[in-house]
Amino acid sequence: MRIASAMLLGILLVSTGCKTDQAARQAENMDKRQTPAVAALDPAMTGTLKGTITFQGKAPDRVRIDMSADPGCKGAENDTEQYVVGKKSALANVYIYVKSGLPANVRFPAKTDVVVLDQKHCRFVPHVIAVQVGEPVEVRNSDPTVHNVHTMADMVGNAATDISQPPSSGPQRESFSQPEAMLPVRCNNHPWMNAFINISATPFFAVTGPDGKFEIHGLPPGVYTIAAVQEKLGEQTQQVTIATQVTSQANFTYSQ
């Protein structure tokens, strides 16, 4: 009887151990399935996207801002930046990113560069910036007056920021956890100050400069939906095909 009981106990222990090991393996496999693979990009196998953003017709006049109420801003008059149209109707401050087409189960190496948002001459410089999720934004105050950097909490999950920066204070860094286009930034002390932060899920994005041009390098071959977003004129999309070692074009035209 004792021998039979010992044998039964041994069988139960082995069976339980097997089930435990099997459950552990299943959990490990599930974790692997849920964790996106990191893409290993071979630059020799990728392509480039270039384009120009233009404004059709007469752009709204830029309005001169009177900043004399704050002695620290005196003499730093600037124009509004909702519409910055340059030579050949080039439209600046447009955010371009890959909206769809990249594999959903693959994440791409995160950018680690520090993107600077300065407060200079009582305005945010640059007016529009873009970062990847988790990439640091360094906020600086280069003015002889107190500034404030305020972003509101939003529906996509990015937490609010409210940073007060006296003159000559050190820079502060913030990062964002969720993709979002044109997240507004305001200064509570100077209501005319505004900027926009764009957060991309991937490293494939750009912001147009005064010439309206953009470039996105290192795209894997494929068919993508490219989006362009302007703070007042909204979003436009376009489908493009990227081939290995080929530069593709995507141009956008805005109008009112």
Binned at pLDDT 50, 70 and 90, residue 7 comes out as: very low
Residue 105's pLDDT is: 76
Q: Whose structure tokens read 């390098």?
A: 217
Model confidence at 26: pLDDT above 80? no
What pLDDT was estimated at residue 34? 56
Give dist(CA 174, CA 116) in Å, integer: 10
| Fold observed for domain 43-254 | Immunoglobulin-like (2.60.40)
In the prediction, which pLDDT does 22 show?
61
- Count Cβ atoms below 10 Å from residue 116 Cβ, excluding itself: 14
Q: Which of 230, 224, 222, 228 is nearest to 256 (CA)?
A: 230
Domain positions in the chain are 2-35, 43-254
Residue 192, SS3 per DSSP? coil
Is residue 9 scored above 50 in pLDDT? no
Per-residue pLDDT reduced to its tens digit, 171-211: 999 999 999 999 999 999 999 999 999 999 999 999 999 99
- How high does pLDDT run on average in the chain? 86
